[in-house]
Amino acid sequence: MAAPRDKFGRPIVVVTGMGVVTSLGAGKADNWKKLTAGESGIRTITRFATDGLKTTMAGTVDFVPVEPFSSTDLSERLADIATEEAIAEAGIGSKGDFPGPLFLAVAPVEVEWPQRMELGRALGGDAQFDYDALLRVSGGGRFAQYHRRFMFGSVADHLAETFGTKGSPISLSTACASGASAIQLGVEAIRRGEADAALCVATDGSVNPEALVRFSLLSALSTHNDPPQGAVRPFAKNRDGFVMAEGAGALVLESLEAATARGAKILGIVAGCGELADSFHRTRSSPDGKPIIGCVRNALSDAGLVPEQIDYINAHGTGTPENDKMEYLGISTVFGEHASQIPVSSNKSMVGHTLSAAGAVEAIFSLLTLEHQRIPPTINYDVPDPAIPFDVVPNKARDARVTAVMSNSFGFGGQNAVLILTREPV
Amino acid sequence: MSEPAEVWITGIGLATSLGEGLDANWDALNQRRINVDEKTFAPYIVHPWAQVNLDAQIPKKGDQRQMEAWQRIGTYAAGLALDSAGVKGNKEILGRMDMIVAAGGGERDLAVDCNILSLEAKGNSAPGFLNERLMNDLRPTLFLAQLSNLLAGNIAIVHGVTGSSRTFMGEEAAGVDAARIALARIAAGQSDIALIGGSHNGERKDLLVLYEFGDFNLKGKYAPVWARQAHAGFALGSAGAFLVIESKAHAQARGAKPYARLTNVVADLARRERPGAVTATLERLWSKLGKLEGKGAIITGATGAEPATSEERTFLGEHRDFAVRASGTMFGHTVETQFPLGIGLAALSISRGALFPPNDPTGLEVEMSTPPSQIVVVGAGHWRGEGMALVEAIK
């Protein structure tokens, strides 16, 4: 029998395992239940004092204890949890021996404030506080663990060792499109025939004071602090920014041939991936929408589908005035009249913006939408924006026939990535 | 599967501590001229960036202001690479050119950090103290100069490379994987042309702190990489190194002249807790490179950190028919950038028909009198990650 190939003659890439953790909970079952019930995971921040901050809520994952806290440690723990679930579901390889490469979407790593303050305290109270002084106390092995912790490759190293992935693990960042890019790298490796399986993980545990302040200073965050559950309002007229959130998603990708040969259950197909960078501005999309339009078209073309074959769009839908407007422009341009009929909802209305993890978390929710034939809603949609006449699946989940989903991810730095996920090979 | 496409290196952009452009770097290498600063960061040693006229590659002052040094260095070097490949300003090609950047993160605002630490030490520990200082003291756009993927973002904005934009992180290995993935995509027909590379600003005390945690910084007096056994470590370097690589068919169709062929890139992650793991991994990667004819050269990014450098020296000892050069001796350690820099130096050496001279009092590096036709680029990270590339002359 000929190897199962897509219409372009490439190996078909399937998903055989998924794991997810968000502010809604750990695991696919819990997340899906709450997501389709329209529950919000956004809460008032208790991890650190929020005095003086304009935004005091986030989609934190507080049920995974990390002490002393660092975002990199939490990212690592979340990635562990999601990956364990995905590999267990796939039933692939043996414990600690995953038969393929790792592609990890992870936030840029840096020394964080608890550790920097520990260093400061090593100087003593009367010291002159400059980096020369900090340098004098940094060496000698006392803080050796922070070298290992704050290497950019440290989370991928840990996952590679724990799960026994093969070859050089790749840590990547395409900002808020990172999760989708990790999946795209896995798809490409399988299509090239380099690997029969790939582990694609995306994780983000970024809710710390400096990260929050950074986004706040760029006026990107919602300040609808009370009630926090009502903060993220994608596509609504009264949307005022995104809400930072934490989470992780992990997917086991395989060639259809390899998955079938070992009798694995196939959860869905990654039919196409598209990307296109925007050269307009560091944080804003080109006003003509061309890069987003081109990216969506690239994904459709990679999947060999036309817009009419997509029957649900899992939007990037951050809830910033800018993103949602540009996403509408992009989708309506490509989809034409079909754009007003197709359901377009934002998971971020409930889980918040999981940043580096979002592309993978939302790909998993898209695959669950295909599996359950049920579309999660866009919550907090009480004041429609007449400039964005999408069917956003307002406030309540909806049963629907869904055969192909488009999942969008856009990020700072002109990053655009779009995935097409289907139930059956196309 | 069809035959993999042959991939050529058609553009090299170098902006390093030795100067900007291929001639300046080549001349410095041949004169064994090293730009090292033992004073500014004493006792730490850095290879400072040779200042350039930024306007030549980043014409808008507004763009320059939006970047920190590492992004300016990289955006500048990327422009040189596009010029070198003859595609600068070619919107049709740039609009479909893929990009993989190997990046770390950006400079912190040292004054803000130190002020906060100082105030905290004086007893400012009220709830919200840190928030208040960060809200008031951080420059609103500093974040964009720190984000890893914003080097690629700036290259897209300044030079118009927009086919795709991917940023790999993970220290030295990020540079290896950027080359590995870009090559694999072109070889498989997933891409025709790509810009790959990285940049590093070594003149940063926050980075020195990070490496000082692990006692990796070279201190006191500069020594070439192979002469650091008594005082292990690396001197951080500042450099941008970018390459344009494309399929032979794509290059020929547009009449581009190649510097060399990028034949193969391989990488792995040794379990370094086992002594000898780096040596064994390098040996395994060597065997996967393809047919090696001997009498070639090796350009290694050996850091001078131990035990990795000693393990690499053992590996090199098994391949004495290859003349070795350590890029770290001449350029310092540029972390994510070291491997793209090595590929650039290899392609440059092949195109000039000579390997640059040794600079090594220990005798590990020897003269090479014949034009190199095969150069293996080696990258063993100071802490993790091993990779190799085979760069060959096009006959």
Burial of residue A220 (number of CB atoms within 10 Å: 0-12, 13-18, 19+): buried
The answer to the question of residue A4 being in a domain is no
Q: Are residues A118 and A195 in the same domain?
A: no
Q: Domain spanning B7-106+147-392 has what CATH number?
A: 3.40.47.10
Instruction: Answer yes or no: are the C-beta atoms of A13 and A197 closer than 8 Å.
Output: no
pLDDT tens by residue, A224-254: 999 999 999 999 999 999 999 999 999 999 9
Residue B1 pLDDT: 53
pLDDT bucket at A2, cuts 50 / 70 / 90: low
Among the residue ranges A46-50, A128-132, B199-203, B350-354, the one predicted with the least confidence is: A128-132
Residue A404 counted as domain residue: yes
Instruction: Tell me: do A199 and A127 sit in the same domain.
Output: no
A74 and A136 fall within a common domain: no
Q: Do A142 and A158 share a domain, yes or no?
A: no
Measured in whole angstroms, how far is the alpha carbon of residue A64 from the centre of its chain?
18
Claim to verify: residue A123 and residue A262 sit in the same structural domain: no
Question: How far A238 CA lies from chain B's nearest CA (Å)?
Answer: 24
CB B332 within 8 A of CB B49: no
Structure tokens that stand for B175 in this block: 């540079």
> What is the tens place of the pLDDT at every residue in A253-290?
999 999 999 999 999 999 999 999 999 999 999 999 99
- Please tell me what DSSP assigns to residue B386: E
Give the separation between CA A86 and CA A315, rounded to whole angstroms: 23
Alpha-carbon radius of gyration of chain A: 21
Does A1 map to a domain? no
Say yes or no: A111 contacts chain B, CB-CB below 8 A: yes
Task: Determine the 3-state secondary structure of B42 from DSSP.
Answer: coil
Cβ within 8 Å, pair A135-B150? no
Query: What amino acid occupies position A171?
Result: S
CA-CA distance, B86 to B255, in Å (whole number)? 10
| Higher-scoring residue by pLDDT: B351, A123 | B351
Separation between Cα atoms, residue A172 and residue B178, nearest integer Å: 10
User: Are A306 and A362 within one domain?
Assistant: yes
Joined tokens for residue B86? 């003859």
Provide, as residue numbers in chain A, all residues whose Cβ is less than 8 Å from the Cβ of B130. Answer: 113, 209
Q: Quote the tokens at residue A260.
A: 């079938």
Nearest residue in chain A measured CA to CA from B139 = A217
pLDDT value of position A1:
47
What is the arithmetic mean of pLDDT over B62-87?
A: 98
Beta bridge partners of B324: B298
Residues A131 and A267 in one domain: no
Beta bridge partners of A31: none
Residues B299-336: pLDDT tens digits? 999 999 999 999 999 999 999 999 999 999 999 999 99
What tens digit of pLDDT does each residue of A152-206 get?
A: 999 999 999 999 999 999 999 999 999 999 999 999 999 999 999 999 999 999 9
List strand residue ranges (DSSP E) for chain B, in order.
7-16, 19-20, 46-47, 98-102, 166-169, 193-200, 236-237, 239-247, 260-268, 297-300, 323-326, 374-380, 386-392
Residue A329 lies in a domain: yes
Question: Does A124 lie in the same domain as A186?
Answer: no
Contacts of A167 in chain B (CB under 8 A): 267-269
pLDDT bracket for residue B2 (50, 70, 90) = confident
Q: Does residue A7 form part of some domain?
A: no
Smallest Cβ–Cβ distance between A175 and the set B147, B185, B206 belongs to: B147
For residue A426, what pLDDT band results from cuts at 50, 70 and 90?
confident
Give the end of a domain, one of A122, A149, A176: A149
pLDDT for residue B304: 98
Bridge partners (DSSP) listed for residue A244: A353
Residues of A within 8 A of B99 (CB-CB) are 277
Give the Å distances, CA to CA, from B189 to A20, A297, B93, B248, B267. Answer: 33, 19, 16, 12, 21
Q: Judge if A106 and A138 occupy the same domain.
A: no
H/E element holding A406?
strand A404-411
Residue B182 reports pLDDT greater than 90 = yes
How far apart, in whole angstroms, are the C-alpha atoms of residue A105 and residue A178?
Answer: 5
Tell me the three state secondary structure of residue A380.
Answer: coil
What's the number of domains chain A is made of?
A: 2
Exposed (0-12), middle (13-18) or buried (19+): which is A407, by Cβ within 10 Å?
Answer: buried
Residues 147-186 of A with CB under 8 A from B: 147-148, 150-153, 156-157, 160-161, 167-175, 181, 185
CA max distance for chain B: 70
A169 vs B contacts (CB less than 8 Å): 170, 269
Residues of chain A contacting residue B215, judged by C-beta atoms under 8 Å apart: 139-141, 144
**Smallest Cα–Cα separation from A322: which of A388, A257, A382?**
A388
pLDDT for the residue numbered A267: 98
On whether any CB of chain B is under 8 Å from the CB of A266, the answer is no
* Closest residue on chain B to A414 (Cα): B153
Q: Are residues A157 and A145 in the same domain?
A: no
What single DSSP character describes residue A424? Answer: S
Instruction: Evaluate whether A113 touches B130 at the Cβ level (below 8 Å).
Output: yes
ipTM over 0.90: yes
Residues A236 and A360 in one domain: yes
**Residue A56 CB contacts under 8 Å (≥ 6 apart), including other chains:** A44, A45, A50, A225, A228
The pLDDT assigned to A304 comes to 98
Ramachandran bin of A95, using left for φ above 0, alpha for ψ from -120 to 50, beta for the remaining angles: beta
Which of B1, B268, B384 is opposite residue A167, by nearest beta carbon?
Answer: B268
**Catalytically active residues of A, by annotation:** 176, 316, 353
Q: Return d(Cα A364, Cα A20) in angstroms, integer.
A: 8
Which range marks the domain in which residue A277 is found?
Answer: 13-112+150-422
Rounded CA separation B206/A131 (Å) = 7
Instruction: Classify residue A122: in a domain, yes or no.
Output: yes
For the record, the structure tokens of A127 come out as 């010291």
Please report which confidence band the pLDDT of residue A126 belongs to, taking 50, 70 and 90 as the band edges.
confident
**Rounded to 10 degrees, what is the CA torsion of B367, B373, B377, B378?**
-60
Angle at which helices A358-372 and A28-36 cross, to 10°: 80
Smallest CA–CA separation between B45 and chain A, in Å?
13
Mean of per-residue pLDDT scores for chain B: 97
Domain-embedded: residue A324: yes
Look at residue A413 and tell me if it is in a domain: yes
Cβ atoms of residues A241 and A222 within 8 Å:
yes
Give residue-wise pLDDT tens across range B13-61.
999 999 999 999 999 999 999 999 999 999 999 999 999 999 999 999 9
Q: Does residue B172 carry a pLDDT above 60?
A: yes
* Nearest chain A CA: its distance from B197 CA (Å): 14
- The angle subtended at Cα A234 by Cα A232 and Cα A240, nearest 5°, is 60
Angle, helices A131-138 vs A113-123, to 10°: value is: 90
d(CA A95, CA A91): 10
Please report how many Cα atoms fall inside a 13 Å half-sphere around the Cα of residue A155, on the Cβ side. Answer: 31
β-pairing verdict for B297-300 and B374-380: parallel
The per-residue pLDDT for range A83-105, each reduced to its tens digit, is: 999 999 999 999 999 999 999 99
In sequence order, the β-bridge partners of residue A19 are A250
| pLDDT score, position A124 | 81
Give strand pairing partners of A384.
A236
Domain boundary among A149, A177, A199: A149
Q: What CATH number does residue A71 fall under? A: 3.40.47.10
Amino acid at A307: P
Q: Answer yes or no: do A123 and A172 share one domain.
A: no
What is the C-alpha to C-alpha distance for residues A372 and A400, in angstroms, rounded to an integer?
A: 9
Residues of B in contact with A290 (CB under 8 A): none
CB–CB of B163 and A277 under 8 A?
yes
Smallest CA–CA distance, residue A207 to chain B, in Å, is 13
List, for residues A191-226, the tens digit of each pLDDT value: 999 999 999 999 999 999 999 999 999 999 999 999
